[in-house]
Amino acid sequence: MIKHIQLNKGLDIPVQGAAELRIEKTIIPDVVSVKPVNFRSLTPKLVVREGDAVKAGSILFVDKYHPEVGFASPVSGTVEAVVRGEKRKLLEIRVKADNTTDYIKFNAPEPGKATAGEIKKVLLESGLWVALTQRPYGIVANPADEPRAIFVSAFDSAPLAPDYNFTLKDEAANLQVAVDVLGKLTKGGVYVGVNAKTSAGSPFNHLKNVKLYGFSGAHPAGNVGVQINNIAPINKGEVVWTIDPMLLVAVGKLFTKGIYDVTRTIAVAGNRVERPCYVTCVPGTQIKEIDFLVSKKEVEIFDQETGCRYISGNVLTGKNVGLEGSLDFQSNMVTVISEGNYYEMFGWVKPFRCGKFSFSKSYFSWLAPKKKYKVDSNLNGGQRAFVVSDVYGKVLPMDIYPVYLLKAILAEDIDKMEQLGIYEVIEEDFALCEYVCPSKIDIQDIISRGIATMIKEMA
């Protein structure tokens, strides 16, 4: 029986360029990049060298302070390069991929008979433990902890987000195995949040041994943090774990096939993509492998040419990785939009801007609620003084006072941050607040700084 939760706050941004429900191609990568910087509060320790041969599932580096937590190669091949930055910080490991993938075979126990200790051991040995993310803070889960519960958001409500009902339609068996084994790691059970409107076609709808919740409402209804806050908020001293649906499938494959297989079907979307669609690849695939879908024609805006912005993730929370970048470990889509490197005369004071969407009804977009808009990265203005208003509260469906939390972070007031909900949020939960912010403040960066402060002070 699905329990229904209606969210009355949020915003669906009508962006042009949604992916069609078809798989265009399976990409066999030439080079795959594994980046420690994709994981918060991680001090990596390299365990391979340039020239080493690796298989899919071979550990490339570990967490210095939790050496049992390893990070694996998604493909077999040869370590081509170890990229370091300032003070020899490990930025990236590039693996030259073989034409066919050779997997390490792990001795996974039978899911129905496996104990919690055996499950943890296999997840750690395979490198798939890093699929589990801890709240508070959004860091890799600590194997020594027992979470209060495990949460899975079975849908993504972000702009142009992939349709998991399509990408996971044949993965029901792997999903069931995954929730069965992960359920043994917690006494609180596995909570799954589905889209109430499309739950009938969801592969999660018929899972057993889960607590199913249906969510209705605009974005960020699909954010797992929002779902946790509306089901069972996190209190001080509590730990919960979350896992992405695509990585949940990988856990299922580990316990059925004994291999580290993180292959996923991702959406390639955005108004600069000629044929928005889905492709099958592995995390770490270079963006230039997907560039064949992108329009090469420069776009002229106000007599100024603008190129493409390549984003690993969605337009609100994704990273600008550029054409030479790669797909992040946690990303299930690539978005390509126009760069906003142009100046618009008179800006927002122009009386008619039919091509712009406005949350505040400054323009006439509210008269065409079904229209989709071409978006770019232009800020349409500069940073201004912090305006105290209720605009953030209109798009944040959480029992949190966003303005006061942001001010507590800026003041580095630990007690206030705890009282105002820092344990319950990560950057993605405040992405819409940043989008509608009249002051153009980098709110996600403030949240990131607040989390970093808490990790440092509470260590």
Of the three residues 326, 355, 384, the one that is the final residue of a domain is 355
Residue 347 lies in a domain: yes
pLDDT at 323: 93
CA distance 178 to 173: 9
End-to-end Cα separation, the chain, in angstroms: 41
337 and 278 fall within a common domain: yes
Of the three residues 355, 374, 405, the one that is the final residue of a domain is 355
Using only C-alpha atoms, the chain has a radius of gyration, in whole angstroms, of 22
Of the three residues 355, 370, 403, the one that is the final residue of a domain is 355
Q: How many domains does the chain have?
A: 2
pLDDT at 350: 61
3-class secondary-structure state, position 270: coil
CA angle 315, 438, 220 (to 5 degrees): 40
The one-letter amino acid at 243: I
CA distance 75 to 98: 8
Tokens 């560039």 label which residue?
Answer: 291
Tokens 């978005």 label which residue?
Answer: 335
Q: Which residue range(s) make up the domain with 327?
A: 264-355
Residue 33 lies in a domain: no
Residue 384 lies in a domain: no
pLDDT at 390: 86
348 and 396 fall within a common domain: no
CA distance 350 to 373: 18
Residue 416 lies in a domain: yes
Which stretches of 321-449 are assigned E, i.e. beta strand?
A: 333-338
Q: What is the pLDDT tens value at each position of the chain, 459 positions in all?
A: 789 999 999 999 999 999 999 999 999 999 999 999 999 999 999 999 999 999 999 999 999 999 999 999 999 999 999 999 999 999 999 999 999 999 999 999 999 899 999 999 999 999 999 999 999 999 999 999 999 999 999 999 999 999 999 999 999 999 999 999 999 999 999 999 999 999 999 999 999 999 999 999 999 999 999 999 999 999 999 999 999 999 999 999 999 999 999 999 999 999 999 999 999 999 999 999 998 888 766 665 544 557 899 999 999 999 999 999 999 999 999 999 998 877 676 665 665 666 778 787 767 666 677 889 888 888 877 777 887 788 999 999 999 999 999 999 999 999 999 999 999 999 999 999 999 998 889 999 999 999 999 999 987
pLDDT at 262: 98
405 and 347 fall within a common domain: no
3-class secondary-structure state, position 128: helix
Closest of 264, 164, 273 to residue 224, by C-alpha: 164
CA distance 388 to 83: 43
269 and 351 fall within a common domain: yes
Residue 51 lies in a domain: no
User: Judging by beta carbons within 10 Å of its beta carbon (0-12, 13-18, 19+), is residue 174 exposed, middle or buried?
Assistant: buried
CATH code, 336:
3.10.20
List CB contacts of 413: < 8 A, sequence separation 6 or more: none
453 and 396 fall within a common domain: yes
Do residues 316 and 432 touch, judged by C-beta distance below 8 A?
Answer: yes
Residue 296 lies in a domain: yes
Q: Please state the pTM of the whole predicted model.
A: 0.95
pLDDT at 306: 73
Residue 243 lies in a domain: no
Length of the chain (residues): 459
List CB contacts of 181: < 8 A, sequence separation 6 or more: 111, 114, 119, 251, 255
268 and 349 fall within a common domain: yes
Residue 275 lies in a domain: yes
